Amino acid sequence: KKKFKSIKTSGRPDEVIAAETLENYKRCNNSFIQGVFQAQYRSSLSCSRCRTQSNTFDPFQCISVQLPQFHKHSIYVTVLYTSQQPRQVQIGLNLSSSATVSELRDILESDTSIERANMLITEIGDSGFLRTFTDAQPVSIITEIDPIYCIEVAQLKDVQEESTSAYVLLCWINVLVDDNDCQRFGSP
């Protein structure tokens, strides 16, 4: 017993041939997936001598499966140490695009041995400080080309955890201003 019936194609409209071919295929291969994702490909062959044309319809599956995308965010951070040599080191990091600056601090703490409490993460341009980042901010606001710095700041002495007294942390940058042009020099 044949699974597929041979279909006569000569002199018949393509729509009728396509419908019969599909029914013939479904009779042997019937499933929900094929019912939803199946299509037909029409191929045509013509004889150059007798001008006879043969059309065939072949089934194929068109299932698009979206692969999960893991978006990584690249950041280059220049680390400035207070007492370590070399004093300035640039580190490239790949973080999840949903990561926060707090997670960036955790990675920097493990890579640089700078404690979180002694870490200032900031963006420094030619004209000086541009932005200083807080733990809750997403790292997606930082681009790959932003000049990001992790500055090791001095540890405060004689300050207790429960203390409510305020303190001022001074960080400065040397900038030469000349006729509307700012040029940073030296290390922050």
Residue 41: the pLDDT is 83
Asked if pLDDT for residue 82 goes beyond 50, the answer is yes
The average confidence (pLDDT) of the chain is: 83
Query: HEC profile for the chain?
Result: CCCCCCCCCCCCCHHHHHHHHHHHHHHHCCCHHHHHHEEEEEEEEECCCCCCEEEEEEEEECCCCCCCCCCEEEEEEEEECCCCCCCEEEEEEEEECCCEHHHHHHHHHHHHCCCHHHEEEEEEECCEEEEECCCCCEHHHCCCCCCEEEEECCCCCCCCCCCCCCCCCCCCCEEEEECCEEEEECCC
**Domain-wise residue ranges, the chain:** 14-61, 72-154+169-185
Q: What is the pLDDT of residues 51-64, one digit of tens each?
A: 888 878 787 777 77
* Higher pLDDT pick, 112 / 62: 112
Question: Yes or no: is domain 72-154+169-185 CATH 3.10.20.90?
Answer: yes
Q: What is the pLDDT of residues 113-164, one digit of tens each?
A: 899 888 999 999 888 889 999 999 999 999 889 999 999 988 766 656 666 6
* Higher pLDDT pick, 38 / 90: 90
Q: What is this structure's pTM?
A: 0.59
